[in-house]
Amino acid sequence: MLKGKFIVLGVTGSIAAFKGAELASKLTQAGALVDVIMTKSAMEFIAPLTFRSLTHRPVATDLFAPDSELSLEHVALAERADVMVVAPATANFIAKLALGLADDLLSCTILATKAPVIVVPAMDSGMYENPVTQENVAKLRSRDFVIAGPTAGHLASGISGMGRMLEVEELLGIVRQVLGRKGDLRGKKIVVTAGGTQEPIDPVRHISNRSSGKMGYALVEAARDRGATVTLIATPVALKDPAGVEVVHVNTASEMREAVLKACSGADALLMAAAVADYAPIKPAGQKIKKGQGTLILELKKTPDILSEVKGKIVKVGFAAESENLVANAQKKLRQKKLDFIVANDITSKGSGFASDTNRVTIINRAGKAEDLPLMLKTELAGLILDSVAKLLKRS
């Protein structure tokens, strides 16, 4: 989605300017056309050549540059930007924006643009927490600037506190989310579950399955990038929380049930990609179970069927990982759980099991008609699944 997008990246005078360079590089690698504007103080920390080398595009630094290829640089850049990002944004620059000052190329461009502007604060915690900075940030927020971060953590001053610039991966998610605001799922609320539930046996052990969460996370990012408001309900997985979505962390099937039922009130679609344990120990031991002489018998109870419990005007999509009778088993689940469609995959087929980046699935629609899809990346498959969701939502 970043391919061919014009992104104006403003860099101001903070030690976090090196992260701005990383952002410029990642955006360029993703196919965006990144025009960097640096303030004078930014150039004390990092050279324009760094950005020119990373973006393969000229870097603008001077409001009065006589030899610029653009006749009125701030107007030209402001007009062609799909999104503007100020990363890092200092307390001083945020104050300038709050006042509407336009005394350098970057502030002029922001004042002139109609594109969304993402401001990424980076500063010492004292400066960030100062009421005047807080007031300025609130002012920008009320004028529809997107304020990304900061977070708490290690600061260049040596202390730990609030003011650390967001990491680049997270910023990429926010840029994609802002660019996707006009997507075909805008205004839609989508709930996605991901990962495998964990049912405790005792304080150190649990029953779980091999779900990696990759399919669910791919759906979350794709839905966010198409303008949806997304809630992800995730079990512990080795994937980072996606930026720009609400994430609810759960462990057990019963916690997932509670979170799903809550998130689904007022939602347009539920994509139940999580592998939910069908059975859980009746009563998890309070203390670690000690090794005995004979065999150990664990008594299990059935967990709630979450998908079946979700009712009302909501598009419901199920996932079925099968090892035999793929279509028949999936059709049965489709009917029993009253789904709009089900995405079924044969876990014995090459490249489409748990933890894989690819999947080969059969999609079965409400009428029970099965369509085989070729092996593809889970990220691509997420796009196709959302195409079907978008179609169903348009009809409803």
Inter-residue long-range contacts of 58-64, CB under 8 Å, 24+ positions, other chains counted:
60/35, 60/36, 60/105, 61/37, 61/105, 62/105, 63/104, 63/105, 63/108
Name the residue among 333, 303, 310 with its Cα closest to residue 320.
Answer: 333
Q: Extract the tokens encoding 320.
A: 């079925």
Q: Which of 319, 352, 376, 386 lies at the binding interface for ligand CTP (CB under 6 A)?
A: 319
Total residues found in the chain within this entry: 396
**Shortest Cβ 124–ligand CTP spacing (Å):** 46
Q: What's the gap between Cα 110 and its chain centre?
A: 26
Q: Which helix (H) or strand (E) holds 388?
A: helix 378-395
3-state helix, strand and coil shares in percent for the chain, rounded to the nearest 5: 35, 25, 40
142: phi then psi, degrees, rounded to nearest 5: -70, -15
**Shortest Cβ 365–ligand CTP spacing (Å):** 15
- Which candidate in 209, 251, 329, 365 is catalytic? 209
What is the rounded distance in angstroms from the CA atom of residue 73 to the CA atom of residue 151?
A: 33
316 near ligand CTP (CB under 6 A): no
Count residues near ligand CTP (CB under 6 A): 16
305 near ligand CTP (CB under 6 A): yes
Q: Extract the tokens encoding 339.
A: 């789904």
90 near ligand CTP (CB under 6 A): no
**Shortest Cβ 323–ligand CTP spacing (Å):** 9
For ligand CTP, which stretch binds (CB under 6 A), given 53-61, 212-220, 243-251, 314-322?
A: 314-322
For ligand CTP, which stretch binds (CB under 6 A), given 135-143, 145-153, 173-181, 303-311?
A: 303-311
319 contacts 343 by C-beta, under 8 angstroms: yes
195 near ligand CTP (CB under 6 A): no
259 near ligand CTP (CB under 6 A): no
For ligand CTP, which stretch binds (CB under 6 A), given 110-118, 237-245, 316-324, 374-382?
A: 316-324
**Shortest Cβ 208–ligand CTP spacing (Å):** 13
What is the rounded distance in angstroms from the CA atom of residue 352 to the CA atom of residue 334?
A: 21
The secondary structure of residue 275, as a DSSP letter, is B
272 near ligand CTP (CB under 6 A): yes
Tell me, yes or no, if 209 is annotated catalytic: yes
What is the rounded distance in angstroms from the CA atom of residue 264 to the CA atom of residue 271?
A: 11
106 contacts 63 by C-beta, under 8 angstroms: no
**Shortest Cβ 329–ligand CTP spacing (Å):** 6
Query: In Å, what is the CA distance from 327 to each residue of 78, 317, 342?
Result: 53, 15, 10
218 near ligand CTP (CB under 6 A): no
307 near ligand CTP (CB under 6 A): yes
Q: What's the gap between Cα 252 and its chain centre?
A: 23
Q: Extract the tokens encoding 224.
A: 């966010």
For ligand CTP, which stretch binds (CB under 6 A), given 125-133, 200-208, 301-309, 374-382?
A: 301-309
Pick 50 or 197: Cβ nearer ligand CTP:
197
Which residues between 329 and 348 bind ligand CTP (CB under 6 A)?
333, 337
**Shortest Cβ 274–ligand CTP spacing (Å):** 5
For ligand CTP, which stretch binds (CB under 6 A), given 112-120, 220-228, 313-321, 385-393?
A: 313-321
255 near ligand CTP (CB under 6 A): no
276 near ligand CTP (CB under 6 A): yes
For ligand CTP, which stretch binds (CB under 6 A), given 141-149, 172-180, 319-327, 353-361?
A: 319-327
Name the residue among 57, 108, 106 with its Cα closest to residue 85.
Answer: 106
**Shortest Cβ 256–ligand CTP spacing (Å):** 8
Measured between its terminal Cα atoms, the distance across the chain in Å is 27
Residue 120 carries which side chain, given as an amino acid letter? Answer: V
Q: Pairing mode, if any, of strands 205-207 and 199-202? A: antiparallel
Which residues between 174 and 193 bind ligand CTP (CB under 6 A)?
none
278 near ligand CTP (CB under 6 A): yes
Q: Which of 77, 110, 191, 306 lies at the binding interface for ligand CTP (CB under 6 A)?
A: 306
**Shortest Cβ 98–ligand CTP spacing (Å):** 46
- List all residues 6 or more positions away from 376 whose beta carbon is below 8 Å from its beta carbon: 358, 359, 360
274 near ligand CTP (CB under 6 A): yes
Which amino acids are annotated catalytic? 209
What residues make contact with ligand CTP under the rule CB under 6 A?
Answer: 253, 272, 274, 276, 278, 303-307, 318-321, 333, 337
